[in-house]
Structure 1
């Protein structure tokens, strides 16, 4: 990746040129469990499947919670949009409880402490999370903290 500094400001092009990467698809995201998924899931203490695509600005993961399971309380300086694929539960975001079920979407703001909880004792929950973490990582300013 090319790094630019303020001296490059005068070299900003007047037209865009598409850069189409070689790989545009991540086949069988849920079926192929790579080392990155296993390490990340172990660290987070719940299932997380990383969608491995060459986006420089947005990330996508698929999270899973077994019946009664909850994530660790954490916060980060990137914002998150979550779409619930299956199940029902609750997220504690700051001092607010947000109840959710399949088909709902909710927002986790920057640097807000939060935790996701599967309220069912018999059904799993899964969700799709999209975050602007790669953008902040590329700027060297992404932060995450676990409670």
Structure 2
């Protein structure tokens, strides 16, 4: 068992909060403002123009919260990854492809993306940015698989994005 997974299990078994000393304000985030950017990609040929920010909440180990911003009329890459995702549309109108299914989501709409299923989000507006809150179990899957995320993104020449693009 790798060290990250063992640490995760040890903390769960200890039944102790990981952020007990964090100030109350650390548990609040406004998804409408910029946070720590972890990824950005633009490819005019493929209609790709988006950024991903992470919301750094104290004590998170198994999941993380990400804000995905997709430019008007654009999309992110068609890709897959090991973590599960729950998408919540904060603003804008989206077409979310999950496998062969296509869902239309408006503000307040939810979609679930299972592990290893190809998916892509497209902004249906020709003028307004699409903002999606993505809740993932990235921390858990990273503890199991190591830092696999770069293999899933086109900008990083990720095989999990390229083998179905």
Shorter-chain TM-score: which interval? Answer: 0.7 to 0.9
Measured after TM superposition, the shift of residue 123 of structure 1 is 1.8
- Aligned position for 2:15: 16
Task: Give the equivalent residue in structure 1 for 2:155.
Answer: none
Give me the whole-angstrom Cα distance separating, in 2, the residues matched to 1:4 and 1:87. 40
Please report the TM-score for the alignment, with normalisation by the length of structure 1: 0.77
Greater radius of gyration (CA): 1
Kindly indicate which of the two structures has a greater share of residues assigned to helix: 2
2:56 counterpart (14, 37, 52): 52
The partner residue of 1:129 within 124, 131, 134 is 134
Q: What is the RMSD of the two structures over their aligned residues, measured on CA atoms?
A: 3.1
Which structure carries more relative contact order (alpha carbon 8 Å, separation 6+)?
Answer: 1
> Which of 69, 76, 79 in structure 1 is aligned with 2:81?
76
Gapped regions of structure 1 (runs ≥ 5): none
User: Where do 1:131-146 residues align within 5 Å?
Assistant: 131-140=136-145, 143=148, 144=152, 145-146=160-161
| Higher mean displacement: 54-63 or 22-31 | 22-31
Output one character per residue of 1:71-121: Cα deviation in whole Å (capped at 9) or x when no partner: 011001111001000110201111111111111011111101111000111
Q: How many residues align?
A: 138
CA–CA distance in 2 between the matches of 1:60 and 1:88?
A: 20
